[in-house]
Amino acid sequence: MPSTTYVQSHKGAVSNTTMLKDVLAAQIPALRAEIKELVKAHGEKVISEVTIAQLYGGMRGVKALICDTSLVEPDRGLILRGHPINELTQCLPDDIFFLLCTGRLPSTAERADLQRALAERADVPDYVWDVMRALPADSHPMSMLVAGIIAMQHESVFAHEYAAGTLSTDDYWIATLEDALTLLARMPGLAAGIYRLRFGKGDLIPYDKKRQWGANYAHMLGIPDPSGEFTNLINLYLVLHSDHEGGNVSAFSCATVGSALSDAYYSVGAGLSGLAGPLHGLANQECLAFVLDIRDHFKGVPSDEQLVQYAWDKLNSGHVIPGYGHAVLRATDPRFTAFHEFGKRVCPGDEVFQIVDKMFRLIPDVLKKQGKAKNPYPNVDAGSGALLHHFGMTEVSYYTVLFSVSRAMGMLSQLVIARAMGYPIIRPKSVQTDWVKAQCK
């Protein structure tokens, strides 16, 4: 099929004018001018240096990336566009995407317009389900998610318009936003369909255009929700995991791939391949496994003494306590606090949640006494699995897919901004160990 035919038919299917696009179009010229002026006036100013320890240590702490969507502060945790995350927990996830892209929350009209735009784009094409069904039955849900996203790449408006030569550099962001909206709109349907296919939950449930984006995800998963609290949990989960600066593996991978002008499908697919790693997005399933082990070991909620001893036994045998510690944070993660508050309100009698609650009271002191972890407090993963488990979502290998639907907002907003600002291809200089040794002589 010639590219232009597809693009025309795609544009015929949905409105390519959104209030979000209009807001960005109004902001972008001034932002571009500001950055150009900053680099022109202060381009030579040194803002960070790199030690050999950092060179071999994952570049921790090296200030070498720009990310205007969010910031993680050691004592305050995640801040989205100037708003501490604990002030955003009542927002709809769609609002968060608008906030990440533009720097402010949407008006009522802008929210409705974004929900309309997402609903118009939400249906996952049938060929994606053919791909899903062709994958091995024991495929990891994350590999299914990445395969589904990459299968949709041929629909990229950016890729088609770029190949057709119809895009000016200044307008790259418009086609990228178009792809971002389509991909984001389809993420809940794709992710929910993966849950139902992979774990034998029955037929796929279609998007309900009367519900908003996050509520649709809860709806399409098909978990019974008479109280509406599962929907509330999914909305909270989507808000809390939406973004986490630019240097984490998924955001950095997405930005690097995107900087080659690979489209949003390739870029997010790359980012999510990173999120699938056990040191990144897979950690949340390990946290729940740890809590369930405690429950099974003690056949219920242990006493304080039993739990403290269990933790020491784990530490003394060389294990970490999952859900505790953080590379940047030096306080209780406010995202943990939000989940903890939710659990105290919705399922205080659930024994898995009670173990999470007890760990929160006791583990920081154990880790402080051990004296190794720089941050003895819980991170976001310490409690979320127990809440999902409470609602019957016990398939822990699926949890990173939930994380992915949320984090797509951060990756896509960062990508749109990078295209709008015309950031160049990412290409840091690498050096060889012999060179490093020579510097030490």
Interacting residues with ligand COA (CB under 6 A): 283, 315, 320-327, 372-375, 379, 381
280 part of the active site: yes
* Residue closer to ligand COA, measured from CB, 324 or 342: 324
Q: Where are the beta strands (DSSP E) in 230-325?
A: none
Q: Which of 160, 241, 244, 326 is catalytic?
A: 326
Q: Cα 11 to chain center, whole Å?
A: 28
Q: How far is CA 254 from CA 158, 260, 274, 412, in A?
A: 16, 10, 9, 9
Residues 363 and 379: beta-carbon distance below 8 Å = no
d(CA 225, CA 211): 14
d(CA 100, CA 84): 13
| Tokens (6 digits) for 119 | 């609903």
* Residue closer to ligand COA, measured from CB, 13 or 289: 289
Which value, in Å, is the radius of gyration of the alpha carbons in the chain?
22
Residues 100 and 243: beta-carbon distance below 8 Å = yes
| Tokens (6 digits) for 213 | 């984006």
Q: How far is CA 298 from CA 143, 292, 312, 364, in A?
A: 35, 10, 15, 21
* Residue closer to ligand COA, measured from CB, 181 or 311: 311
Minimum distance between the CB of residue 392 and ligand COA, rounded to whole angstroms? 24
| Tokens (6 digits) for 215 | 């509520």
* Residue closer to ligand COA, measured from CB, 105 or 327: 327
Minimum distance between the CB of residue 3 and ligand COA, rounded to whole angstroms? 41
* Residue closer to ligand COA, measured from CB, 368 or 374: 374
Contacts of 124 (CB under 8 A, 6+ apart): 148, 186, 189, 190, 193
DSSP 302: P
* Residue closer to ligand COA, measured from CB, 302 or 325: 325
* Residue closer to ligand COA, measured from CB, 142 or 283: 283
Biggest alpha carbon–alpha carbon distance for the chain: 69
CA-nearest of 316, 278, 305, 283 to 361 is 305
Collapsed DSSP state (helix, strand, coil) of residue 361:
helix
Q: Which of 333, 381, 389, 390 is catalytic?
A: 381
Residues 137 and 121: beta-carbon distance below 8 Å = no
DSSP 277: S
d(CA 93, CA 238): 6
* Residue closer to ligand COA, measured from CB, 154 or 372: 372
Minimum distance between the CB of residue 382 and ligand COA, rounded to whole angstroms? 7
Minimum distance between the CB of residue 16 and ligand COA, rounded to whole angstroms? 38
Q: Which of 10, 83, 280, 350 is catalytic?
A: 280
170 part of the active site: no
Please report where in the chains the tokens 């060929």 appear, as a residue: 127
Residues 396 and 288: beta-carbon distance below 8 Å = yes
Minimum distance between the CB of residue 34 and ligand COA, rounded to whole angstroms? 33
DSSP 353: H
Q: Which residue is nearest to ligand COA (CB)?
A: 325
Minimum distance between the CB of residue 114 and ligand COA, rounded to whole angstroms? 29
| Tokens (6 digits) for 290 | 């740890």
* Residue closer to ligand COA, measured from CB, 330 or 345: 330
Collapsed DSSP state (helix, strand, coil) of residue 201:
coil
Q: How far is CA 230 from CA 39, 117, 157, in A?
A: 47, 25, 35
225 part of the active site: no
Active site residues per annotation: 280, 326, 381
